[in-house]
Structure 1
Amino acid sequence: MNMIRNVIVAVLGLFILASCSKDDDSVEVTPPRDRGEVEVESQANLKAYLNTHFYNYEEFEAKEDGFNYKIVFDTISGVNSDKTPLMSQVITEKFTYLDTEYTLYTLVAREGAGIQPTFADSTFVNYQGNVVGGDKFDSSVTPLWFDLTQVVFGFANGLKNLKAGTQFSQNADGSVSFGNDYGIGAVFIPSGLAYFNGSGTGYSAYSDLVFTFDLYRAVEDTDDDNDGVPNWKEDINGNNFLNEIEDDSDGDNIPDYLDTDDDGDGTLTRDEIVINADGTITYTDSNNDGTPDYLDPDVN
């Protein structure tokens, strides 16, 4: 089984490649193609698939005894010619990443009843990855914890549309049992929000991908650097991705969500905010210049 994790930090450029698998055999094509041109091709491919395929939504709606609650895709044709296409059922979102606008499609087969994670929280999931219209290249055997800051952009931002389950208990043998209210979904990812020009076993460069997943548990307001500011709050440019130079306030080549002194003024971020008794945070602005102290190097 392959881990949904692969982070390479480029010291000078602060570019982190986060991937959902194949961290040992991935190969990058050099030089990469123009991202805008590739996205046009990806959108044509994804739309063609979403308009000609459906999932077993009728089984999800019927909730019959014995149904395994697994998403199955099939072609709209023949006896299935009257099925509703995926394109009519997905959530469509646009993101700007590396100066390119991308469109991501998320299917929510079952929303879930518990905590809804952000794109930067910790989650406990089962998953399977396929090339769109092609074969499986990765999957988990048992649920795994993943920090969504360490997976590809598209996976994290698809998973954030689901909610975790609320029914789980630990068995005598140490295993965990889950009820039947966890989130179930899929995300259709253009290559630019996946591995782009990377390739590995089962997928080639510029492959568009689809991940199906079950979201069992989630941790709200994950704070990787324990500075009191949740990861999602440290997305300075607001594009739902944290591992880029725009999210490094003090230019020290450490993104803010991993930096205990975000503005580099010598005073820890935790000492420049107020964590209230109820857990809420007050972002003080001592000089009233519109920039909170923890991001203002002129205040320490």
Structure 2
Amino acid sequence: MMKNTVFAALGLLLIVSCNKDDDGPSIQPPRDRGEVQLESEANIRAYLQTHTYNYEEFETPAADFDYEIVFDTIAGSNATKTPLIDHPNLIATQYEFQDVNYTLYVLVAKEGAGAQPSFADSTYVNYQGNIVGDSKFDGTTTPIWFNLPETIFGYGNGLKELKAGTQISLNEDGTFNYGTDYGVGAVFIPSGLGYFSTARTLIPAYSDLVFRFKLYGVNQADQDNDGVPNAEEDINKNSYLYDVADDTDGDGIANFEDIDDDGDGILTRDEIDFNENGNAIRPFRDSNSDGTPDYLDPDN
């Protein structure tokens, strides 16, 4: 499964490969991110231009429709269908990550009717992961909870374009009925927003990925239980929680995992105010009125 250690490794890991002119392995540094990004963009766009999906089934779903996205090439009976790149349900969003600009392509086949997650929340999903234009490497048959900060950048920021369902109910046999109003989508992830130079089981280094998912449920996440939701711990608002900017006290622990964000010895929970329902009150307390809330200000 995707772990937060992947983020720490992105752009830093060295790849070991076999050198025919040497008796042992040689260390190959990661490739230039900008160069790889150009290759990824070309690869993903080529796929989007030559493939379509079963949008007619989503537009007029049959009673027994399973709401599965099926990609297919534009040929034969599909020759007149709209390619993914031109479909109105495809969203292209720009992100800057490790000083490189990337495009994340998200297909919203069905938006959903419930709560919409941030990139940093906890989500209840079914998913399938493939290398773009190639084989499946992972997937679920029953839904699982995913804490999005522990996934790769492209996954959480793709899933946030959907909304959860509202019709989950428990059947008499202990199984669940998820209704039909949950979100269904897919995200095309350039390798730089995925595992980049890190090879994983069934995923070669520099692989561009596509995840299809169904979003059944959402919980707002506060990983360190300090009263500040994960998404609000993204200080520089770049949809990534492991930047240096998101570690206010510089102790090597990202704010969303740090119970004392400013390192002043006072717990974050003790530097903010809560209402009678236990929710943090905004704006956050700023005792010295310097524009920095107490929980991020060691000099308050």
Normalised TM-score (structure 1): 0.90
Task: Give, in whole Å, the separation in 1 of the partners of 2:86 and 2:79.
Answer: 15
Q: Which amino acid is the alignment partner of residue 77 of structure 1?
A: A
Question: How far is 1:67 from its partner?
Answer: 1.6
Matched, 1:43 2:41: yes
Match of 1:93 in 2: 93
Q: Percent identity?
A: 59
Match of 1:130 in 2: 130
Match of 1:33 in 2: 31
Any gaps of 5 or more consecutive residues in structure 1?
10-14, 19-25
Runs of 4+, deviation exceeding 6 Å: none
Matched, 1:149 2:149: yes
Task: Give, in whole Å, the separation in 1 of the partners of 2:172 and 2:63.
Answer: 26
Match of 1:21 in 2: none
Any gaps of 5 or more consecutive residues in structure 2?
17-27
Task: Give, in whole Å, the separation in 1 of the partners of 2:249 and 2:72.
Answer: 49
Normalised TM-score (structure 2): 0.90
Match of 1:227 in 2: 226
Matched, 1:105 2:102: no
181-190 vs 264-273, which moves further: 264-273
Cα RMSD after superposing both structures: 1.7
SS at match of 1:46: helix
Please say if residues 52 and 81 of structure 2, whose CA atoms lie closer than 8 Å, have aligned partners that are also in contact. Answer: yes
Q: Which amino acid is the alignment partner of residue 76 of structure 2?
A: G
Q: Which amino acid is the alignment partner of residue 37 of structure 1?
A: E
Match of 2:25 in 1: none
Superposition pairs for residues 244-259 of structure 1, below 5 Å? 244-259=243-258
Match of 2:297 in 1: 296
Match of 1:284 in 2: 285
Task: Give, in whole Å, the separation in 1 of the partners of 2:275 and 2:240.
Answer: 27
Question: How far is 1:202 from its partner?
Answer: 2.5
Please say if residues 188 and 208 of structure 2, whose CA atoms lie closer than 8 Å, have aligned partners that are also in contact. Answer: yes
Q: Which amino acid is the alignment partner of residue 152 of structure 1?
A: I
Q: Which has the higher contact order (CA 8 A, sep 6+)?
A: 1
Structure 1 residue aligned with 2:77, among 73, 76, 79? 79
Task: Give, in whole Å, the separation in 2 of the partners of 1:201 and 1:223.
Answer: 30
Deviation sequence 1:21-71 (CA, Å, 0-9, x none): xxxxx9945410011110011001111111111110011111112221100
Please say if residues 16 and 244 of structure 1, whose CA atoms lie closer than 8 Å, have aligned partners that are also in contact. Answer: no
Match of 1:16 in 2: 8
Please say if residues 111 and 182 of structure 2, whose CA atoms lie closer than 8 Å, have aligned partners that are also in contact. Answer: yes
Task: Give, in whole Å, the separation in 1 of the partners of 2:224 and 2:253.
Answer: 11
Task: Give, in whole Å, the separation in 2 of the partners of 1:275 and 1:49.
Answer: 49
Match of 2:68 in 1: 70
Match of 2:3 in 1: 6
Task: Give, in whole Å, the separation in 1 of the partners of 2:93 and 2:136.
Answer: 25
Matched, 1:195 2:195: yes
Higher Cα Rg: structure 1 or 2?
A: 2
Q: Which amino acid is the alignment partner of residue 226 of structure 1?
A: N
Q: Which amino acid is the alignment partner of residue 4 of structure 2?
A: V
Task: Give, in whole Å, the separation in 2 of the partners of 1:32 and 1:213.
Answer: 30
